[in-house]
């Protein structure tokens, strides 16, 4: 998958944020529904740019960890309020921020990843931001 194939255009310029993509091992592979993975990644990236602080960075990385491939989207939103990570994936629980929508995007993204036997989690980095991690199983060697 290349980032140019993601579909929805990311509005980076309005926040003055920089988009960084870490080098990915070319032998890294997953078996996943391409459309569902694209939609989940697009949602995570769009949210990252929506909430990241001006003149900061959103970073995308992919790497192997044991039998899993991890895809991280890291932003600089300043961190979550207490209990914010626990509510992040609950449908119809929008952020109190006026930029929030219906509160469905992350819930749908998580369901999309789970459809491929993966997980979608968030880790709060207090005072800095959030790291959303998609974890998908690596294919068995042939």
| 58 and 51 Cβ atoms separated by less than 8 Å | no
Looking at residue 121, its pLDDT comes to: 95
Token pair of 2, please?
């290349």
Per the document, the length of the chain is 142
Looking at residue 1, its pLDDT comes to: 37
Looking at residue 114, its pLDDT comes to: 95
Token pair of 134, please?
């998609």
Token pair of 49, please?
């740019």
Looking at residue 82, its pLDDT comes to: 83
Looking at residue 102, its pLDDT comes to: 56
Domains of the chain, by residue range, sit at 3-137
What CATH code would you report for 3-137? 3.30.565.10
Looking at residue 7, its pLDDT comes to: 41
**Contacts of residue 123, Cβ cutoff 8 Å, sequence gap at least 6:** 85, 130, 131, 133
Looking at residue 2, its pLDDT comes to: 36
pTM over 0.75: yes
- Per-residue pLDDT 10s for the chain (142 aa) are 333 344 444 555 546 788 999 999 998 999 899 999 999 999 999 999 988 888 899 999 999 999 999 999 999 999 888 877 778 888 766 555 545 555 688 999 999 999 999 999 999 999 899 999 999 999 887 6
């Amino acid at each position: 998958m290349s980032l140019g194939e993601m579909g929805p255009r990311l509005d980076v310029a309005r926040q003055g944020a920089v988009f960084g993509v870490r080098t990915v091992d070319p032998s890294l592979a997953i078996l996943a529904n391409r459309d569902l993975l694209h939609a989940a990644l697009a949602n995570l990236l769009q949210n990252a740019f929506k909430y990241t602080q001006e003149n900061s960075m959103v970073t995308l990385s992919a790497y192997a960890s044991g039998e899993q491939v991890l895809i991280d989207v890291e932003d600089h939103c300043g961190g979550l309020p207490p209990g914010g990570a626990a509510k992040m994936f609950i449908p119809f629980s929008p952020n109190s921020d006026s930029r929030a929508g219906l509160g469905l995007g992350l819930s749908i993204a998580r369901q999309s990843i789970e459809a491929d036997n993966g997980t979608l989690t968030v880790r709060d980095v207090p005072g800095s931001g959030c790291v959303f991690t998609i974890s998908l199983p690596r294919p068995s060697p042939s």
